[in-house]
Amino acid sequence: MTLKVGIPRALLYYYYLPLWRTFFEALGLEVVISRPTTKTILDAGLQNSGDDVCLPVRLAFGHVLDLKDRVDVLFLPRLVSIARREYICPKFLGFPDMVRHGISGLPPLIDPNLNLYRKDSPYPFFVALGRNFTSNRLAIYLAYRRAMHAQVRYVQLLERGLFPEQALALLYQGVAEGQESGGGGPTVAVIGHPYNIYDPYISMNLLSRLARSGVRVCSADNLPETLIREQAARLPKHLFWSLGQRMIGAAWHYLQSPDVDGIIHVASFACGPDSLTGELISREVRRRGKPFLNLTLDEHSAEAGVVTRLEAFLDMMERRQFLPVRESV
Amino acid sequence: MKVTFPHMGHMWICLSAMLEYLGVEVVVPPPSSKRTLTLGARHAPEFACLPLKLNLGNFMEASELGADTILMAGGCGPCRFGYYAQVEHAILEDLGYKYRLVVMEPPQKHVGELLSKIKYITGHSSWWEVVRGIRFGYQKARMVDELERQANYLRPREIHRGSTDKAFKRALQEIIAAKHPRDLPQAGERVRKIMAQVVIKPRPVLRVGIVGEIFTLLEPFANYDLERRLGYLGVETDRSIYLSEWINDHLFLGLVRGLRSRKEACQAAPPYLNHFVGGHGQETVGSTVMYAKQGYDGVIQLLPFTCMPEIVAHSVLPRLSTELGIPTLTITVDEQSGEAGLVTRLEAFIDLLARKKGVV
């Protein structure tokens, strides 16, 4: 019987699924992914986590609960650092412990530390991870190679303009269910953490809603890493959050790009890093004067409110096109 | 050049002692107040944590007194504090303040960067003088911490309510007044005499440990004078972090022996929190474990709203509290906090501890 490994559809799922999934499958394990977010999943997460915890982490609790009774082991890597001299967010560092002490009756957790703060290669992480399932070093090495290869392909697809769900569908089902749209419409950059903007339930279908309104949408993940880092290097001090780097680098790139007509910044309520990076972004936007919408999401967000604000934002962009900005009065 | 820095409890005593000893002109911001917070909260990002808002208010008020240079500490994450100075500076710049910003970053590549900043602030003092200045500031921090510890012991036991605080204020003035390292021994003598005048009687008291984020622990304005309030409720308190311990751990890298160190706290944190999470998250969990083992009656965790490391710590506290049998109370503060709500919760918590111990 093959061992079932559970991967929650939350947090950095949208960045790293091909990496984890390919690695486990190459080792002959069965990967079970939690179901797409629903109200039930979110509610379960809310009931089992503290009030002060941010929405993405509470949602991740819900996804862990969704997997709890369906898998043999749960894969919750402790993502300490995914790039040199950078962290993600304290909650990613503590997530396995928060889950372990917040939910009872869990299957065994596999939570090796991924820490690239002073290292470049994630290989030791995969060795530690693979050791849980096999003692065959060669098999681990080969699985690692395949996983890295899959990840590179995935990132290439994103950089070609696909969003994670389309890219994952292409990788695993061989089909691209496109939301290709926006012929002639304006282009909007959506800047936000992957677990907020790519989860259709949490973002209230933000991306497809925009696409249906004839807007061409792009996000930080459509940009190559080097470009993002080049932009973020303009900050007075190296930013020590990897996701913050992406947000700021992408926002600043899109601000300068003449093809992008507006920017939507999506943050979850009380998000720590976003409170500072969002501030830096909105200050820069004010200096340059591009249409900007700051959407804050939490478990109480109502669809009608979001839709109204989105419509107002799109109207504003439309008016801008018909009423060219008067250079001098 | 008129140097200012943000407030954090009594840190200003130690910092201005050091800077003034080195001949730097210092502008101490007015003590943090409602006005400071209002000013800061108006211009800071909504979800920034309370310390950032108060820092910003401090700088705005210090500018009214003529300060033109900000001295700040940096950091390398993942706690937001490491990026405070840059964001605060951007906000002040947009508001039209003309501040020079000097950030003491922990040296990542080479130590020269840090040394050149110290040189920039201290001007033509020799390195030997700089070392003596730092030592002077540190000695004052030790004295203030000792004084606070004493006050926390005396307050629940005093016969005349308020006598401890009166003596504390006078003693603090003695420490502030010492302008040279050679004045410190006499000042210490006078402090001892003043504190010895507080009349106490032995009575059963509750012992509560206070853990959490360093700024809210150290700044009485941010925590609504928690230690004093608890003292008046008949509780002897101990804090998991004192300024001198923090300086020893982070700036002297543990050079001074015999002080309590964060290492022990971090080692006590597993299995509840197995990894550092930035800020003082792991220390909070570890200190709670240690207080439980030392027989304390309860633990209070303090944090500013949206503080990430403390939220992680808070998530594992319920399990810890059940398994080790130590009651915990978490208090989150921000610009919306109200005093009455806090007092009610404190009284309820202390009643609960008193019943449990049978000292009603």
Domains B3-125 and B205-359 share a fold: yes
**Domain assignments of chain B as residue spans, ordered by start:** 3-125, 136-203, 205-359
The b/e string for A100-138 (b: 16+ C-beta within 10 A; e otherwise) is: bbbbeebbebbbbbbbbeeeeebeebbeebbeebeeeee
pLDDT digits (tens, 9 = 90+) for A88-108: 999 999 999 999 999 999 999
Q: Is the pLDDT of residue A327 over 80?
A: no
Q: Is the pLDDT of residue A54 over 60?
A: yes
| Residue pair B229/B340 in contact by the 8 Å Cβ criterion | no
With contacts defined as CB-CB under 8 Å, which chain B residues touch A96?
274
Return the SS3 of B296.
coil
pLDDT digits (tens, 9 = 90+) for B45-79: 999 999 999 999 999 999 999 999 999 999 888 99
Tokens (6 digits) for B275: 């990894």
pLDDT for B137 equals 95
With contacts defined as CB-CB under 8 Å, which chain B residues touch A236?
86, 89
Which domains can be identified in chain A, with CATH numbers? 4-160 (3.40.50), 183-322 (3.40.50.11900)
Grade residue B257 by pLDDT with cuts at 50, 70 and 90.
Answer: confident
**Which among A95, A111, A112, A93 has a CA at the least distance from the CA of A103?**
A95
Mutating which of A92, A95, A101, A110 best tests the B interface, going by the most B Cβ atoms within 10 A? Answer: A101
Grade residue A177 by pLDDT with cuts at 50, 70 and 90.
Answer: low
Grade residue A329 by pLDDT with cuts at 50, 70 and 90.
Answer: very low
pLDDT for A328 equals 42
- Computed over every residue of chain B, the mean pLDDT equals 94
Separation CA A225–CA A228 (nearest Å): 5
Q: Is the pLDDT of residue A36 over 50?
A: yes
Check B47 against A271: CB less than 8 A apart.
yes
Separation in Å, CA of A299 to nearest CA in chain B: 16
With contacts defined as CB-CB under 8 Å, which chain A residues touch B76?
85, 240
Check B78 against A93: CB less than 8 A apart.
yes
Separation CA A142–CA A66 (nearest Å): 31
pLDDT for A302 equals 87
Grade residue A322 by pLDDT with cuts at 50, 70 and 90.
Answer: low
Grade residue A301 by pLDDT with cuts at 50, 70 and 90.
Answer: confident
Mutating which of B72, B83, B87, B335 best tests the A interface, going by the most A Cβ atoms within 10 A? Answer: B83
B205-359 under CATH 3.40.50.11900, yes or no: yes
Q: Distance of CA A218 to CAs A152, A208, A244, Å?
A: 20, 12, 17
With contacts defined as CB-CB under 8 Å, which chain B residues touch A93?
78, 275-278, 312
- Over residues A38-60, the mean pLDDT reads 95
pLDDT digits (tens, 9 = 90+) for A200-227: 999 999 999 999 999 999 999 999 999 9
DSSP letters for B97-153: ---EEEEEPPPSS-THHHHHHHHHHHTT--HHHHHHHHHHHHHHHHHHHHHHHHHHH
Q: Is the pLDDT of residue A66 over 80?
A: yes
Q: Is the pLDDT of residue B109 over 80?
A: no
pLDDT digits (tens, 9 = 90+) for B165-215: 999 999 999 999 999 999 999 999 999 999 999 999 999 999 999 999 999
- Over residues B85-89, the mean pLDDT reads 96
Separation CA B313–CA A94 (nearest Å): 8
pLDDT digits (tens, 9 = 90+) for A257-277: 999 999 999 999 989 999 999
Architecture of domain B3-125: 3-Layer(aba) Sandwich (3.40)
B92 CB contacts (<8 Å, ≥6 apart)? B56, B59, B60, B99
N-to-C CA span, chain B: 57
Separation in Å, CA of B278 to nearest CA in chain A: 6
Q: Distance of CA A236 to CAs A119, A201, A231, B83, Å?
A: 24, 36, 12, 10
- Computed over every residue of chain A, the mean pLDDT equals 92
With contacts defined as CB-CB under 8 Å, which chain A residues touch B277?
90-91, 93-94
- Over residues B218-226, the mean pLDDT reads 96
pLDDT for B93 equals 95
Mutating which of B311, B316, B329, B330 best tests the A interface, going by the most A Cβ atoms within 10 A? Answer: B311
CB atoms within 10 A of CB A305: 12
With contacts defined as CB-CB under 8 Å, which chain B residues touch A53?
311, 315
| Residue pair A246/A219 in contact by the 8 Å Cβ criterion | no
Q: Determine the length of chain B.
A: 360
Q: Is the pLDDT of residue A181 over 60?
A: no
Q: C-alpha angle with apex B311: B272 to B240, nearest 5 degrees? A: 70
pLDDT for B253 equals 79
Its pTM surpasses 0.90: yes
pLDDT digits (tens, 9 = 90+) for B229-238: 999 999 999 9
**Which among B73, B97, B66, B80 has a CA at the least distance from the CA of B8?**
B73
Separation CA A245–CA A242 (nearest Å): 5
Separation in Å, CA of A142 to nearest CA in chain B: 30
Q: C-alpha angle with apex A96: A95 to A101, nearest 5 degrees? A: 100
Of A98, A237, A280, which is closest to B316 when you measure between CB atoms?
A98
Check B77 against A241: CB less than 8 A apart.
yes
